[in-house]
Structure 1
Amino acid sequence: MARNRKSRRQQHGSAWHWKQTDCWYFTPPGTKKREALFDEDGERIRGKENKEAAQLALARIKLTDELTPVSSAPSKDWTVAQVCEIYLADLTNTATPEWVRLCQTWLNDFCGYCGALSVSELKKKHLRTWLQKHKTWNNNSQRNVIACIKAAFNFCCKFDDLDINPLSSYQKPAATARVTSFSPEEEKEIYAATNKAHALFLKCCILTGARPFSEMAMVTADHVVETPHGMFYLLKARTAEGGHGHKAAKKTGKDRRIMLCEEMEAITRRLMLEAPKDSGIPLLRTTHGKQWKRCNGVQQFCNVKEKLNLPDDRVTYTCRHTFAKRTLSGYYTGQPTTIEVLAGLMGNTPKVCWDCYAQWADDYNDPLWAALGKSKAKRSAA
């Protein structure tokens, strides 16, 4: 027999728990807007088991409304700092630790500049002036920062009683693709300038095209799958603990397959001897036997870049771009591949690969030259 959902719905004016934020709310009669419930210390009431505390908080609100004349009832005067604080409290429960740390850094810096302003006083010029103070931020960094700040105000507008987002129409700068690759000569110099563990980590990233820290560094022997066609790493969309198994899992909901070439298969079999199945040990580790993390990996590469005086646009993620360029040009097999095949190998959509790597795809550029009467031989001779 089907359950009667209407019989379980709370009446307007009752306290109710929302699983998504793990907080208690109530909907005032005659409205459709939810309002959060706070305890005597001004903290949000969280946890489904705290129903009595939520009902007590609601009773205090009702009593205050009865004793306070409508004409003199004060409205909440939001400050920028309060908006950021409420958003970060929710973000801790829903986002990855890395993204939470980045948002904390940006929002704390923003609040240090204009956190004491009320929301009604905040103008787009405040955000623009603050961004101009950070001259090292490129367009991509600014896009992420602006998106984070706008998300904080949108969250309080949607899930709390903030009336308007004063920054909703602030335009983000256009994204700029930082697509660079290592030449074979640069690759050899980097391997010679760093330790063996780091050199092997970079080499595996170049041979597989895997994302360095959110995919390659996580691989253990349990992720290895052997088939008659060859070997690949299988990163599940969901981990046993319920988290996301790889970077794109939250967006796509699909498992990630990292296909291996013959050289990478030989490296994997050798690494599995030291980190066998069910051991939980990553195949690629630092010189101290630890898993590669963004902090130690970036610092190690910065040391190498300084030693070799490499251009600023060379980063660890360049290994992934190098794989894309070499695969499209047929560096390994002598046969160029298409954007669609590359997208499958890299775990991206064809659109992302087209936007980033189309300049390296001769299969798409050759017909354009042919339309002008220029063959590949003529271009080579020129």
Structure 2
Amino acid sequence: MARNRKQRRQQHGSAWHWKQTDSWYYTPPGTRKRVPLFDEDGERIRGKDNKEAAQLALARIKLSDELAPVSSPVSKEWTVAQVCEIYLADLTNTASPEWVTLCKSWLNDFCGYCGALAVSELKKKHLRTWLQRHKTWNNNTQRNVIACIKAAFNFCCKFDDLDENPVASYQKPAATARVTAFSPEEEEQIYAATNDAHALFLKCCILTGARPFSEMAIVTADHVVETPQGMFYLLKARTSDGRHGHKAAKKTGKDRRIMLCEEMETITRQQMLKAPKGSGIPLIRTKHGRQWKRCNGVQQFCEIKRKLELPDDRVTYTCRHTFAKRTLSGYYTGTPVNIEVLAGLMGNTPKVCWDHYAQWADDYNDPLWAALGKGKPKRAAG
């Protein structure tokens, strides 16, 4: 094995392709530095099949340096736009399509503001000024945007030849917990104000606690698992094409099990008659028989919210919070559960559930009231 590895290894000073960035480099003899190769137009040479162009670029470098083996070319200075471009090229192959779409929107907007700046010229004040222009972004959105921009620079520092991240120390704002839930009355009003397909989608999200568009919308009959104890949806951490199978897969690396109550099992069996195993058709679909997407789902819910004059904090994702509140209070079974059980049902860590839903967990709040000599508070209906 060692002999074969030695035969495959390129000599220092030769052009070599790095799959991670899909770019060509060479390593000057006596050093361990990666030096990117550029074509005559100053663009990076990409693609594994462009070996001839890479060798030609390397020949030009050696000729200009009078064939000095240790010298290296002076590459052009990084710009903010180049950093974002390289990061997005990798992100497209590793992240979910929804997250890629959001990151493209944020980074394109950011590049429209300061993309032509050299990385050495970029300051934290540029990022702050750009964020201040988006007055509709709340703290949670700003946290995601800042994390995306930091990730772009960190990626080029780790996997390319960028020296440092100029915004590495930029502080993200504190997250604000979204702890709204539908009351039973609001739930019935919403079902009555929308079409049957949308009402079923929202109902399934409330009954399962599944993330609406990254989990519930993609479930097919192939995800259904039946056991003697009951039925559940199984979303693998990795799909057959190598992508992450659910939102938390990249972070946890674990499969997601969405446990189903009896009412949800009945709905699932009914839907499987129209979308059997092997068909690849989502179980819960739009009125046109298509997969629910964030764009049409959000648009349809906004129309309902305007029609019913619901509070601004009511969104499609509120279905998931409603499941959490009702499960903690024992709304369905009469038996409350604790944070650890809820975390297992929702595919979160106990810390995330504690940060968001602890105020609804009577098993933790009752001892606090008892310590003050007060009786057990009455449980809320919804």
TM-score by length of 1: 0.91
Which residue is 1:87 aligned to? 87
Return the offset for 1:325. 0.6
Provide the C-alpha distance between the structure 2 equivalents of 1:131 and 1:288, rounded to a whole number of angstroms.
39
Provide the C-alpha distance between the structure 1 equivalents of 2:323 and 2:201, rounded to a whole number of angstroms.
14
Contact map agreement 2:366 2:377 (CA 8 A) in 1: no
Alpha carbons of 1:378 and 1:86: their partners in 2 closer, same or farther (altered >3 Å)? closer
Partner amino acid for 2:217? A
Provide the C-alpha distance between the structure 2 equivalents of 1:258 and 1:157, rounded to a whole number of angstroms.
38
Which residue is 1:35 aligned to? 35
Residue 362 of structure 2 is aligned to residue 328 of structure 1: no
Alpha carbons of 1:74 and 1:40: their partners in 2 closer, same or farther (altered >3 Å)? closer
Return the offset for 1:353. 1.1
Provide the C-alpha distance between the structure 2 equivalents of 1:210 and 1:86, rounded to a whole number of angstroms.
33
Any idea what SS the aligned residue of 2:128 has?
helix
Could you give the per-residue CA deviations for residues 255-292 of structure 1, whole angstroms, max 9, x where no partner exists?
A: 11111101111111111111122221111111111011
Partner amino acid for 2:238? R
> Which runs of 5 or more residues in structure 1 are unaligned?
none
Provide the C-alpha distance between the structure 1 equivalents of 2:146 and 2:378, rounded to a whole number of angstroms.
48
Could you give the per-residue CA deviations for residues 47-89 of structure 1, whole angstroms, max 9, x where no partner exists?
A: 3343333333222222233379x99x75523332233233333
Higher mean C-alpha deviation, range 46-55 or range 366-375: 46-55
Partner amino acid for 1:31? T
Any idea what SS the aligned residue of 2:266 has?
helix
Contact map agreement 2:330 2:337 (CA 8 A) in 1: yes
Alpha carbons of 1:3 and 1:311: their partners in 2 closer, same or farther (altered >3 Å)? farther
Provide the C-alpha distance between the structure 1 equivalents of 2:17 and 2:67, rounded to a whole number of angstroms.
27
Provide the C-alpha distance between the structure 2 equivalents of 1:65 and 1:74, rounded to a whole number of angstroms.
11
Alpha carbons of 1:306 and 1:273: their partners in 2 closer, same or farther (altered >3 Å)? same
Which residue is 1:99 aligned to? 99
Provide the C-alpha distance between the structure 1 equivalents of 2:220 and 2:74, rounded to a whole number of angstroms.
58
Higher mean C-alpha deviation, range 328-337 or range 29-38: 29-38
Return the offset for 1:8. 4.2
Contact map agreement 2:21 2:90 (CA 8 A) in 1: yes
Could you give the per-residue CA deviations for residues 162-191 of structure 1, whole angstroms, max 9, x where no partner exists?
A: 333221211111111112111111101110
Provide the C-alpha distance between the structure 2 equivalents of 1:145 and 1:378, rounded to a whole number of angstroms.
41
Higher mean C-alpha deviation, range 247-256 or range 57-66: 57-66
Which residue is 1:164 aligned to? 164
CA RMSD of superposed structures (Å):
2.5
Alpha carbons of 1:231 and 1:75: their partners in 2 closer, same or farther (altered >3 Å)? closer
Contact map agreement 1:34 1:159 (CA 8 A) in 2: no
Alpha carbons of 1:65 and 1:98: their partners in 2 closer, same or farther (altered >3 Å)? farther
Contact map agreement 2:94 2:244 (CA 8 A) in 1: no
Provide the C-alpha distance between the structure 2 equivalents of 1:181 and 1:127, rounded to a whole number of angstroms.
34
Any idea what SS the aligned residue of 1:120 has?
helix
Higher mean C-alpha deviation, range 1-10 or range 86-95: 1-10
Any idea what SS the aligned residue of 2:120 has?
coil
Which residue is 1:57 aligned to? 57
Provide the C-alpha distance between the structure 1 equivalents of 2:12 and 2:367, rounded to a whole number of angstroms.
65
Contact map agreement 1:35 1:159 (CA 8 A) in 2: no
Residue 328 of structure 2 is aligned to residue 311 of structure 1: no
Could you give the per-residue CA deviations for residues 318-359 of structure 1, whole angstroms, max 9, x where no partner exists?
A: 101100110000000000001111111111111111111111
Provide the C-alpha distance between the structure 1 equivalents of 2:300 and 2:144, rounded to a whole number of angstroms.
25
Could you give the per-residue CA deviations for residues 279-312 of structure 1, whole angstroms, max 9, x where no partner exists?
A: 2111111111101111111111111111111111
Provide the C-alpha distance between the structure 2 equivalents of 1:96 and 1:3, rounded to a whole number of angstroms.
40
Alignment size in residue pairs: 379
Alpha carbons of 1:65 and 1:368: their partners in 2 closer, same or farther (altered >3 Å)? farther
Which residue is 1:217 aligned to? 217
Which residue is 1:271 aligned to? 271
Partner amino acid for 1:316? T
> Which runs of 5 or more residues in structure 2 are unaligned?
none
Return the offset for 1:93. 3.2
Contact map agreement 2:94 2:243 (CA 8 A) in 1: no
Alpha carbons of 1:377 and 1:181: their partners in 2 closer, same or farther (altered >3 Å)? closer
Return the offset for 1:197. 0.2
Alpha carbons of 1:43 and 1:379: their partners in 2 closer, same or farther (altered >3 Å)? closer
Which residue is 1:246 aligned to? 246
Alpha carbons of 1:262 and 1:36: their partners in 2 closer, same or farther (altered >3 Å)? same
